Amino acid sequence: MRNTSYLRTAAIAAASSLALSVPAAWSSAQTPASEAAYLAKAEQQCPNENRVLEPMVDTPLGRAKYRRQQSEIEVAILCLVRTERARLGAEMHWLMPRVDLDRTLGKAGVRVKPGIGAAATRHVKDAINLRWWGKVTPSKNCIPVEDKPENCNPHINPRTGSTPQKRVEQLTNLPSHCAARGLRWQAYENTYVGWGAQSVTPRAAFDWWRNSFPHYKNMMSAGPKMSVAVAYGSADPDAGSITPAVSYVQVFGGCTR
């Protein structure tokens, strides 16, 4: 079994110091009571946190089952993120803003674009098809990470050149939504790929992000909307023929002053 993950190097806005400067524009901060209630669940297992995504069977029933698995995995990641934010908030005596799954952002009368989830979904699909994540090799078409040129940048699509910023601008109303409120917008992206049953679960992805400071910083200080796109297959060809292999793209977005 083996899993690999990559540092976020394409933040759309400079990440604030870890949870020290939570944007005042974010709403729905948890009350002490709700934070304590969430913290009380920290020792409990989040539902489906150890789920292993099964490959899609190309039938109506198979596709529906696959989408249900994807939804359950996204909710499991949300639970893990919320629980960790509650734990950190209680430890540091802060009220952490609540993170919710994206339900698209827009104004009445304005065409509502698909949302943050579409940006994550497009990226993970392309990653599975192009398989450019991992180490730079002569046969691989990828853009190296600036400070780690031996690694391909998993956030920049080598075929289209799209970055997290471009995907969010193209597929969400976040920029206009924030501008209408006189606020700036920001979005952050984490990626993960694993192979082998113990390395492909929501818990495995979350634990890797938690143990990598840039990824952890995104999960603790970004928000308030989150989406996770997960797909069966490896975005890194180093997985070879090992199964199961699963790739994740996690995107956060919100308004800030």
Q: Is the per-residue pLDDT at 234 higher than 70?
A: yes
Q: Is the per-residue pLDDT at 4 higher than 80?
A: no
Q: Which residue has the higher pLDDT, 223 or 182?
A: 182
Q: Is the per-residue pLDDT at 1 higher than 50?
A: no
- 3 state SS of 109: coil
Cβ atoms within 10 Å, residue 114: 15
pLDDT recorded at residue 250: 98
pLDDT > 90: percent of the chain: 72
Tens of pLDDT, residue by residue over 125-173, are 999 999 999 999 998 999 999 999 999 999 999 999 999 999 999 999 9
Strand order in the sheet with 245-256: 2-6, 184-195, 245-256, 225-232, 100-101
Cβ atoms within 10 Å, residue 141: 11
User: Of the candidates 180, 234, 216, which has an alpha carbon nearest to the alpha carbon of residue 55?
Assistant: 234
CATH of the domain at 240: 3.40.33.10
**What's the rounded Cα separation, in Å, for the pair 199 and 196?**
5
**What's the rounded Cα separation, in Å, for the pair 129 and 115?**
22
Q: Average pLDDT for residues 214-218, to the nearest whole number? A: 96
Domain hosting 193: range is 2-256
pTM for this prediction: 0.84
- 3 state SS of 187: strand
pLDDT recorded at residue 225: 92
pLDDT recorded at residue 26: 31
Cβ atoms within 10 Å, residue 102: 23
Q: Which tokens sit at 236?
A: 């890194």
User: Of the candidates 92, 157, 89, which has an alpha carbon nearest to the alpha carbon of residue 123?
Assistant: 157
Question: To which residue do tokens 């489906």 refer?
Answer: 48
Q: What is the DSSP letter of 129?
A: H
Q: Which helix (H) or strand (E) holds 209?
A: helix 202-210
Number of domains in the chain: 1
